[in-house]
Structure 1
């Protein structure tokens, strides 16, 4: 009995490792751009040996000291067993030295720029899940971002299908894929050692984790799920482009100079009852740009962007938010719309750096889930980009390697 009680106490006071979550930055940290060699910012997925770049603005503008650290994680985002010297050549926990102050802007800010590899952090040695953390001089965590490093060993083939369930054939998209180790890697016990991650539009929050192979053909693992690998099709993102604060563009109603520039958008409407219309987007992403100077990193203005939504759908206790990669798909008070009874419209304003931004309106349900199609609808024709990562832990291995990557666009969707 004494041993039994001791075991219970150990379980109570020695909790299991928890999944590491990204830390949301404070209000004065804005426009975080984190990317590898891909065209847009987001969660970088880079090949082993490729560089990554992190940029952000501090709106206090006092040239504060910031430091960065890098950590390695397992597939489930629990810390791996690797020592820092095993996954990194060089060292971290050093100050970010590259920064510039804004020039000739109404909103002052300091722009920070970090590239890896550099003279301190010379290279990452292994593949897998990583997280970069940015700390202030008091050793308080300011924000963190995930990224992935892969080895190009296995062949991952991806194709997008319509649902086999007629109930969802016009609203959902199915990701079918296969992972072929060929002669490069032999998958032993793939049901346990081979794990998968399916990411829509570079949005980790909406990803599907750890689908198991349904069957294999030699060393090729086949995944032909239906609802288990289904994503709501959604609708194309809408956008605004305020690279020129001197005049309005197609989606901007007016611009006003108060303490800083204010950009007023035309009112948006609920789109789910309208037929699908192809409208090219950049899948929720953004690009910083300005016409008022030759260096958008420090010459771009910050503007208050005013959003308006004509909505007559019942919210049932939910909240309306603007949604996109401009803040890593996070919902907070700065993205929440409130009802203006005098104008009979939902509205909010949020601070954005000049540029081209994708966004959409979503419903935050009472249970905390995000309903992306509540206002914009779900259509199987919507163009979305899906990425599949293959993780493999060898027998006796101490970490989850990313051994392959594949992607496909739903523009080529088939039955």
Structure 2
């Protein structure tokens, strides 16, 4: 049964699925280093201007040279499926095989590197702004993974400023984001209902704040200055390591070993919550693939087994995970740390492609699944964070949510 026919039957049999929100599916363990590329970013949440090419790359570590297929779907602001037909938002065809792939060269870890660029011969472009999901299937129609991305039109100006929290009880731990949406090209009809916003901290959709309503209208400007609703925990600067040279220790790497592949043992980390804040420049959770003395890192960068360790007392009813954009901030069994009573450390190891990586340790409640990013790292108002703001608009009688504006700011120049 084809994927398209299967989707049609599901919708006919269960209309309630139309209201279900799309969630990203994490890949199996043999698929690594999923990243989107553009002229300015790598490994980050892709927010593209309408007409800009989309480039998705990933590695398959099973050395089978498998065939993979991609499907693209359009979604509403709240990630429920839009009513647009495929031909309305996509020029050409999807459900096509990824044609471009290369095998690794001169590496201990054998892998195939896949690259998909849109537009291509079969999929000639995306026609509408808004939310999208790209899903990758294998030749047996099994879903391997999915990733969200956004396409915007530059129709409004989005002013973004970062302030210390106006709530004095958390003024030392939180940051608040103020917005101004202005335009001369659109007459907003009933902006309380037709305008929707999304604020994203450090490219992490899991902690985003959505659907704030404008508090004031001043001429052609919509103003958002909330006390608590637009506030984020400040967090702390990310930890990092670099293993661009697998034969010697690099930044954050205590020592290395060679077994079936290279083993990189990081320096043990300690809990930073409650300690004085220290500024260290980071990538806000992101990563950069790089390898010393390699011309083409796509296929010449090797994989190493990276060993993490955290000096911390054993927690009851809570798990500790390694967290970052290396896996789109997913909480999964692969990232779960185990407590070693002999060493008094939480430990875990998994594979990373050579490069520069940000990470932190987070706590997850076993019963509720609630994530606490600051339990190990702490929360500080001084932390340098990146904030992206997306503005959506659905005019009266329209059939989908347009993404009409995009703004960005950092907390480097945070003010009271």
TM-score of the aligned structures, taking structure 2 as reference length: 0.95
**Deviations 1:180-219 (CA, angstroms, capped at 9, x unpaired):** 12x2111101111100000001111110010011111122
**Deviations 1:119-165 (CA, angstroms, capped at 9, x unpaired):** 21111111000111111111111111000000001111000011111
2:341 equivalent in structure 1: 341
- Consecutive unaligned residues of structure 1, counting only runs of 5 or more, are 1-11
Quick one: distance in 1 between partners of 2:379 and 2:223?
Answer: 27
Task: Check conservation: 1:49, 1:124, Cα contact below 8 A.
Answer: yes
2:330 equivalent in structure 1: 330
Quick one: distance in 1 between partners of 2:118 and 2:344?
Answer: 49
2:296 equivalent in structure 1: 295
**How many angstroms does 1:361 deviate by?**
0.5
Please give the residue correspondences for 1:152-167 in structure 2 after superposition, counting only pairs within 5 Å: 152-167=154-169
Quick one: distance in 2 between partners of 1:16 and 1:108?
Answer: 41
**How many angstroms does 1:31 deviate by?**
0.6
What SS class does the counterpart of residue 346 from structure 1 fall into?
Answer: strand
**Deviations 1:194-246 (CA, angstroms, capped at 9, x unpaired):** 00000001111110010011111122111100210010000000100000011
Flag the 1:380–1:113 CA change in 2: closer, same or farther, 3 A. same
Task: Check conservation: 1:43, 1:145, Cα contact below 8 A.
Answer: no
Quick one: distance in 2 between partners of 1:237 and 1:179?
Answer: 31
What SS class does the counterpart of residue 206 from structure 1 fall into?
Answer: strand
Please give the residue correspondences for 1:217-296 in structure 2 after superposition, counting only pairs within 5 Å: 217-296=218-297
What SS class does the counterpart of residue 167 from structure 1 fall into?
Answer: helix
**How many angstroms does 1:117 deviate by?**
1.1
Quick one: distance in 1 between partners of 2:365 and 2:127?
Answer: 42
- Equivalences, count: 404
Please report the RMSD computed on the Cα atoms of aligned residues, expressed in angstroms: 1.6
What SS class does the counterpart of residue 117 from structure 2 fall into?
Answer: strand
Task: Check conservation: 2:18, 2:80, Cα contact below 8 A.
Answer: no
Quick one: distance in 2 between partners of 1:77 and 1:331?
Answer: 20
Flag the 1:61–1:176 CA change in 2: closer, same or farther, 3 A. same
2:412 equivalent in structure 1: 411
Please give the residue correspondences for 1:26-41 in structure 2 after superposition, counting only pairs within 5 Å: 26-41=28-43
Flag the 1:45–1:243 CA change in 2: closer, same or farther, 3 A. same
Please give the residue correspondences for 1:6-405 in structure 2 after superposition, counting only pairs within 5 Å: 14=16, 17-181=19-183, 183-312=184-313, 315-366=315-366, 367-405=368-406
Task: Check conservation: 2:160, 2:180, Cα contact below 8 A.
Answer: yes
Quick one: distance in 1 between partners of 2:96 and 2:30?
Answer: 22
What SS class does the counterpart of residue 380 from structure 1 fall into?
Answer: coil
What SS class does the counterpart of residue 228 from structure 1 fall into?
Answer: coil
Task: Check conservation: 1:362, 1:371, Cα contact below 8 A.
Answer: yes
What SS class does the counterpart of residue 375 from structure 2 fall into?
Answer: helix
Quick one: distance in 1 between partners of 2:207 and 2:196?
Answer: 17
Quick one: distance in 1 between partners of 2:75 and 2:333?
Answer: 30
Quick one: distance in 1 between partners of 2:242 and 2:32?
Answer: 18
Flag the 1:258–1:170 CA change in 2: closer, same or farther, 3 A. same
Task: Check conservation: 1:37, 1:46, Cα contact below 8 A.
Answer: no
**How many angstroms does 1:13 deviate by?**
7.7
1:4 equivalent in structure 2: none
**How many angstroms does 1:272 deviate by?**
1.2
Quick one: distance in 1 between partners of 2:15 and 2:392?
Answer: 32
Flag the 1:127–1:13 CA change in 2: closer, same or farther, 3 A. closer
TM-score of the aligned structures, taking structure 1 as reference length: 0.95
